Amino acid sequence: MENKLTIEQIQNFEGKYPKQLWYLFTVEMWERFCFYGMRGVLTFFMVDQLLLKDDAANLQYGAIQAFVYAFTFIGGIFADKILGFRKSLFFGGIVMILGNLLIAFAPQQMFYFGIAFSIIGTGFFKPNISSMVGELYHEGDGRRDAGYGMFYAGINIGGLLGGALCIYLGKYYSWSLCFLAAAIVMILGLLTFLFTKKHLGPIGDSPLLKLTDSKRKIREISVYVGSLLSIPLIFIMVKNTDYTDYFMYSIGIIAVAYFIYEVVKIGEISSQKKLMAAFLFIFFYLLFNAIYEQSGGSLSLFAKDNLSHNLLFFNIDPNVVNNSSNTLFVVILSPIIGLLWLWLAKKKLEPNTLIKFGIGFLFLSASFYIFYYTKFFANAEGITSLNVFTFAYFVTTIGELCLGPIGMSIITKLAPKRLFGMMMGLWFLASAFGQLAAGKLGAEISRSNEGATLLTKLQSYTEGYYQLAIYSLVAGIILILASPQIKKLMQGVK
């Protein structure tokens, strides 16, 4: 047996970041390349190649994304209880690679099958890396936020490359090549994990090490087999979005019931209050996603038809801009906003987490107002300015950075350690419902576009963005006004 690092050795690291963070960062970067690459082509591919109408493509997009995040909830529970993070991650990665290879083999015929594989794979892969990052730190280590901040940047470098490259390959070369690229980077991610996992010590080991080998094997194999058997079921549900709704509402009710059960079971008032505060964060995160996630749905279709190819002095494809400008701005703005918080903290002016969440909504609102405002820059054909569109993403990103990285961190601070997996799962489940709602909102936005001209499309999409701007403004104001009450629930957690 090799000498394993102990958890104490890992957590007693010198400097700002543990070295394990860089390994996890690289693995997650490749996985996010694959994920954002796929996300950025979904609606475009469905309208362009599967010949769906805009509203149907939006609903389908919402359904696929909702399943991806709902399965991160389920995958998180299996990892917590049976597989452990490592095996879960490896299994998920293999299934994702298979999904991408299937679509690459025959894009039009195998699209939904490949997507069903990708949904299961992401479910087992995604929640585990975030949880492993949390375990690199002591409970009270102040460097945890910085670690998640850095990890978040890794996610976005992957997202930036994948978002730009996959749509570009699909649009200008071949769709097979687009999905093949996603499979290849996922293979790179898994290889990175295999070569570096020895540095993780006991982090991510199976929670069933106390059981005999044979008992443990039986449980693990039943999880693998069960998930593969569910693929045809997911295939049917993704193709028919009505089934998706039934599935999601059922899982939502079950998840909330399970959460309430765990809260009651704890029995200690201060922990219960903290969990309630965490739940409110998760709820607002759902609302945020419903609006923010138009980028893969309606904004992708808006970019496809209604935007010019001129960005500043460059000629560039609007879908490449739509898929990668947000992640590019995250990489640029993350350190700046991080420094801004530190500077405000020194002056004793740093807003608390709740106010940051509220500010996030206000920026989101402003950005959708700018998306709406693109209509005043349109020419007679209904083609409008890519510059204004990109500026809106710049503003969106500021909003996202007030909320995304601290959200995950605050959930791990408010939840007791044994409920980490469940709370992370609920966080992803909030994303799932956000995605589902985003698809429905996107479908409503495009449904009013009955006319065939680009001008009517411009009109209906921008009006829809105006509505979304108002929704997020209201949510932001409510959050800021309610912050003193929620703060009491947090019991002094910062």
Q: Each residue of 162-192: pLDDT tens digit?
A: 999 999 999 999 999 999 999 999 999 999 9
User: How confident is the model over 476-491, as a mean pLDDT?
Assistant: 87
Strand 310-311 and strand 314-315: the pairing is antiparallel
How remote is the C-alpha of 462 from its chain's centroid?
25
Q: Is the pTM of this model over 0.95?
A: no
240-259 per-position pLDDT tens digit: 888 888 888 998 898 899 88
Using 50, 70 and 90 to split pLDDT, how confident is the model at 387?
very high
Question: Which neighbouring-strand residues pair with 311?
Answer: 314
Smallest CA-to-CA distance from 469 within 370, 356, 374 is with 370
Question: What angle is formed at CA 436 by the lines to CA 78 and CA 54, rounded to 5 degrees?
Answer: 135
What separation, in Å, do the N-terminal and C-terminal C-alpha atoms of the chain show?
Answer: 42
CA distance 152 to 129: 11
Q: Is residue 292 within 8 Å of residue 400, measured between CB atoms?
A: yes
Cα angle 471-294-55, degrees, rounded to a multiple of 5: 105
Tokens in use for 317? 């494809």
Residue 494 has pLDDT above 80, yes or no: no
Mean pLDDT of 268-291: 88
Six-digit token string for 168: 């570009």
* Cβ atoms within 10 Å, residue 144: 18
Q: How far apart are CA 4 and CA 136, in angstroms?
A: 15
Is the CB of residue 169 less than 8 Å from the CB of residue 178? yes
Neighbour count for residue 52 (Cβ, 10 Å): 17
* Band (7; pLDDT cuts 50, 70, 90): confident
Q: Model confidence over 22-64: pLDDT tens digits?
A: 888 888 889 889 988 988 899 999 988 998 888 889 999 999 9
For the chain, the three-class secondary structure string (H helix, E strand, C coil) is: CCCCCCHHHHHCCCCCCCHHHHHHHHHHHHHHHHHHHHHHHHHHHHHHCCCCCHHHHHHHHHHHHHHHHHHHHHHHHHHHHHHHHHHHHHHHHHHHHHHHHHHHHCHHHHHHHHHHHHHHHHHHHHHHHHHHHHHCCCCCCCCHHHHHHHHHHHHHHHHHHHHHHHHHHHHHCCHHHHHHHHHHHHHHHHHHHHHHHHHHCCCCCCCCCCCCHHHHHHHHHHHHHHHHHCHHHHHHHHHCHHHHHHHHHHHHHHHHHHHHHHHHHHCCHHHHHHHHHHHHHHHHHHHHHHHHHHHCCHHHHHHHHHECCEECCEECCHHHHHHHHHHHHHHHHHHHHHHHHHHHHHCCCCCCHHHHHHHHHHHHHHHHHHHHHHHHHCCCCCCECHHHHHHHHHHHHHHHHCCHHHHHHHHHHHCCHHHHHHHHHHHHHHHHHHHHHHHHHHHHHHHCCCCCCHHHHHHHHHHHHHHHHHHHHHHHHHHHHHHHHHHHHCCCCC
Q: Tell me the percentage of the chain whose pLDDT exceeds 90.
A: 32
Q: Is the pLDDT of residue 195 over 80?
A: yes
Q: What is the band of 149 on the pLDDT scale with cuts at 50, 70, 90?
A: confident
Question: What span, in angstroms and rounded, lies between the C-alpha atoms of 433 and 444?
Answer: 16
